[in-house]
A and B are shown apart, each in its own frame.
Chain A
Amino acid sequence: MQGETTYIDVDAIKPVSPQLSAQLGELLEKVAEHKGCGTSGGSGKASCGSSDGPEDMDPEVWEKVKNHPCYSEEAHHHYARMHVAVAPACNIQCNYCNRKYDCANESRPGVVSEKLTPEQAAKKVLAVASTIPQMTVLGIAGPGDPLANPEKTFKTFELIAKTAPDIKLCLSTNGLMLPDHIDAIAGFNVDHVTITINMVDPEVGQHIYPWIYYKNKRWTGIDAARILHERQMQGLEMLTERKILCKVNSVMIPGINDKHLVEVNRAVKSRGAFLHNIMPLISAPEHGTVFGLNGQRGPTAQELKALQDSCEGEMNMMRHCRQCRADAVGLLGEDRSAEFTTEKIDAMEVVYDAETRKAYQETVEQERQATVAAKNAEKEQLAQLADAEGISMLIAVATKGHGKVNEHFGHATEFQIYEATAKGAKFVGHRRVDLYCQGGYGEEDALPTVIRAINDCHAVFVAKIGGCPKDDLKKAGIDPVDKYANAFIEQSAISYFMDYVAKVKSGEIVHRVRGDADIRQGAFIAAAA
């Protein structure tokens, strides 16, 4: 019944030796024991994504990730990141990327409207850090490849390390030049590196990468994929040796690498990657990418979740990645970059106020402790959930952050998705419902889009909702719930789930499995705010 049939069984994907599958079973059991948010939460335990809390994590590692919105699912409710677009050049070609495409409303990774010099970037970082005290992380992710622009990338790091030393630096690369720059990366105390690894088999890789530029030569076909693969693995191993945390991003491309990503997951885990983030392919003909033009589709929400679930037994999965654009500013899921254009920054008097930032971050710390306390309360609730065995549901949540149900239905640009089962409630993903850059969608068209995006959910939690959308949601079989306004998400989800289970048991309602949902293609428009 619920969901199970759609989950990909790891063994079904690839025949494995009995020995390996026994190991896998053991691993899965272990994970099941300590997964499930709140069920075994220690202080600051993240609910999922990088779900391992301090008790099973090297304290040194936890210190590095706990305030990083991209590495800790829990931190992404509280801390913000920014990307600066100082790296326009790239050294490989991906079939999901079109370097010519640049739309102010587009937010696929790699797309950016304003290129900055390192000096402009450093000033922008200071301006943002002074305005948004929860900004703790600066990333360079493009729009090309940071390591294809080493001078600009490292100059930016150097300037920021000098003026704002409390900001963590990170870098996102295709890995081709990573081995050559590893010492510079270590030298600037970059403590997080993301490598995009879409394959560990050149046979698969040749369908994703038409060419690479390496050692003064353009390589194509299987040779290109082989070189890229070898360099990526070497780079990952070198990061691990130097104790620099490495996250691996993979783009799930149905029919090309979807099944193969289970192997990628094993390969990167065995080389010490800390987190694996499987993202859906974003592909539409108007992007002008090879995949967009040849009709390659992206995965559905259920396909993505099934793959993430099947890899979760093996290592930390990250499900809160928003595939931000290369100049994103703000909390994940929001983009305030329009407030910080070069023009506006030039006009700003920037004073870097380390004290205010510290005070703010202490407040956040207290808030996080409160969330943890709420989680312990959850444990009590969970004991009563024993008879929920076999029932599960997804709940869409409108939130502005801080781990609470605190956004109006109509203002939400995305919904966070929580899965409630007998083991508790956990964050399993997010769905964008913002409108396309082509504009065109009027109010009346927006609702069906939202419903399609959360069609696999039983309920949607909101701070407030109008009468009309309420009725339409009910018609679509999604329960609009506003009674948890400003309550903690996971607690609310469990309490809703308990009521639901009780009703099912008493025969008042019949449990049904919901269908699949769409993954939004295209733009992540800055919230109207």
Chain B
Amino acid sequence: MAYKIIGSQCTGCSACEPECPNVAIYEKNGVFLINPKKCTECIGHFDEAQCAAVCPVDLTCIIDNAVPRYQPTA
């Protein structure tokens, strides 16, 4: 139910962190991570995943297939 950040590609620029509507993004050891429990794939907030839209490195903020896709409750 979430996006994830590929740590090895993350520049640590922090651009994604303040854009997340769910405050799901946090820093650890210079790179950024997404808390899958908080991420809603931006559904209900924006048309596109904000982290992916702002990230300067292509294919660094991507859908995490290890967890099921987010299901809006309403």
CB within 8 Å of B: which residues of A?
A: 88-91, 93, 99-100, 115, 143-144, 148-149, 213, 216-218
In the bound complex, do residue A91 and residue B50 qualify as a contact, i.e. CB atoms below 8 Å apart? Answer: no
Question: Which chain A residues lie closer than 8 Å to B57 at the CB level?
Answer: 99-100
Give 10 nearest A-B pairs by CB, closest first.
A89-B15, A218-B53, A99-B56, A213-B54, A88-B13, A216-B46, A89-B14, A99-B11, A89-B13, A88-B14
Within 8 Å by CB of A217, from B11, B14, B48, B56, lies B48
Within 8 Å by CB of B53, from A90, A149, A217, lies A217
Is B36's beta carbon under 8 Å from chain A? Answer: no
Q: A90, A149, A216: which has the most chain B beta carbons within 10 Å?
A: A216
In the bound complex, do residue B15 and residue A90 qualify as a contact, i.e. CB atoms below 8 Å apart? Answer: yes
Question: Which chain A residues lie closer than 8 Å to B9 at the CB level?
Answer: 100
Number of interface residues of B (CB under 8 A): 17
In the bound complex, do residue B15 and residue A144 qualify as a contact, i.e. CB atoms below 8 Å apart? Answer: yes
Question: Which chain A residues lie closer than 8 Å to B52 at the CB level?
Answer: 218
Residue pairs across A and B with CB atoms within 8 Å: the count is: 45
**Given A90-B56, A216-B53, A218-B53, A148:B15 Cβ within 8 A:** yes
Which residues of chain B (1-24) have a CB below 8 Å from chain A?
9, 11-15, 18-19
Q: B9, B12, B48: which has the most chain A beta carbons within 10 Å?
A: B12
Question: Which chain A residues lie closer than 8 Å to B48 at the CB level?
Answer: 216-218
In the bound assembly, the distance between CA atoms of A115 and B13 in angstroms comes to 9
In the bound assembly, the distance between CA atoms of A100 and B18 in angstroms comes to 20
Question: Which chain A residues lie closer than 8 Å to B18 at the CB level?
Answer: 89
In the bound complex, do residue B53 and residue A93 qualify as a contact, i.e. CB atoms below 8 Å apart? Answer: no
In the bound assembly, the distance between CA atoms of A89 and B13 in angstroms comes to 5
In the bound complex, do residue B56 and residue A93 qualify as a contact, i.e. CB atoms below 8 Å apart? Answer: yes
**Given A99-B56, A99-B57, A90:B46 Cβ within 8 A:** no
B 42-60 to A, binary, CB cutoff 8 A, 1 in contact else 0 = 0000111010111011000
In the bound assembly, the distance between CA atoms of A143 and B11 in angstroms comes to 12
Chain B residue nearest to A92 (CB atoms) is: B56
Which residues of chain B (31-49) have a CB below 8 Å from chain A?
46-48
Question: Which chain B residues lie closer than 8 Å to A91 at the CB level?
Answer: 15, 54
In the bound assembly, the distance between CA atoms of A93 and B12 in angstroms comes to 16
